[in-house]
Amino acid sequence: MKHFLAIADLSPAEFNSLLSTAKKLKAEWRKRGNKPILKNKTLGMVFQKPSLRTRVSFDMAMLHLGGQALYLSPNEIGLGQRESIADVARVLARYVQGVMARVFAHAHVVELAQYSSVPVINGLSDHEHPCQALADVLTIIEHRGKLKGLKVVFLGDGNNVARSLMFACALGGAHFVCAAPQGYGLDEASIAQAQTFCKKSGGSVEQIHDPQAAARDADVLYTDVWASMGQEAEAAARAKIFPPFQINAALVALAKPKCVVLHCLPAHRGSEITDEVMDGPHSVVFDQAENRMHAQKAVVALLMAGKQTKAKK
């Protein structure tokens, strides 16, 4: 694993290695603190989008492992505007030992990796949010004991978070269901790719448009905002279409008694999820938020403590 750009890029062995490393580092941190395996190493963090969890969790992950993180705002970089992405990659690689990029277009993080001689991590793109999916699976395993065989239901927009979760479930042998309004589901190409993973893992992938049918007997219910960053112009229209897919007490009642509820945050309380559910006994949302830090520790540990990559000159 030279870079961490998408869950779909991982082999089952790489996926399981990341999860086991995250669990180990979390346990180590809670007992006596992490070993400084990234001492004298710096992660450059390139942001095109604002962030709470991504910035703070990566910053603290590096700190806990003995390294440091350098925040680079949109105005400081101007990725692909002030200078080419290839040149940004070449320059940053001379200064830091790893790059995390939170971008709009997935092609931008792919190009950074193409020209970088140090590992590149996708902190979020319009196509995938792989760091979030690792934290999601870590949380599910902590609360349900496993991923394989569970029914994991995502309700709402078939976005980057849903796509990465689908790939993670497919790699881990879970039964993933995306319940979205007509026209807002996951693309067929991604579903087909996930189904190829299911052939080896024993999992399954399904997309339907009935939230009640999806939630019935679910082990995990998951939702995200109905309009992501960059979709603000669609927010009013989506607000009229998505209410049947809200996670509320009635929907949770259809799931299994030990069902857990996840949300990647930030949440629009009263829209995609109610206060009653988010603050209720099924919610593991804030455990999930903490696990962003531990999952990302695994990513930086496995990428930055090892050998550097080769890139185009």
Tell me, yes or no, if 269 is annotated catalytic.
Answer: no
Q: How many residues does the chain have?
A: 313
2's enclosing H/E stretch is none
Which entry of 3, 53, 64, 102 is annotated as an active-site residue? 102
Directed axis angle between helix 160-172 and helix 130-144, to 10°?
50
Closest CA to 301 of 71, 24, 5: 24
d(CA 27, CA 251): 34
Which entry of 48, 97, 132, 246 is annotated as an active-site residue? 132
Q: Is the peptide bond before 119 cis (omega within 30 degrees of 0)?
A: no
Q: Quote the DSSP letter at residue 233.
A: G
Which entry of 59, 224, 282, 288 is annotated as an active-site residue? 224
Which entry of 169, 178, 259, 264 is annotated as an active-site residue? 264
Tell me, yes or no, if 292 is annotated catalytic.
Answer: yes
Q: How many CA atoms lie within 13 Å of 220's alpha carbon, on the beta-carbon side?
A: 34
d(CA 229, CA 50): 9
d(CA 224, CA 266): 8
Which entry of 3, 108, 127, 129 is annotated as an active-site residue? 129
Tell me, yes or no, if 114 is annotated catalytic.
Answer: no
Which entry of 3, 292, 294, 296 is annotated as an active-site residue? 292
Count CB-CB contacts under 10 A for residue 13.
10
Tell me, yes or no, if 219 is annotated catalytic.
Answer: no
Tell me, yes or no, if 129 is annotated catalytic.
Answer: yes
Cβ within 8 Å of residue 48, ≥6 positions away: 74, 77, 79, 101, 102, 103, 104, 108
Tell me, yes or no, if 209 is annotated catalytic.
Answer: no
Any idea which residues carry the catalytic annotation?
102, 129, 132, 224, 264, 292
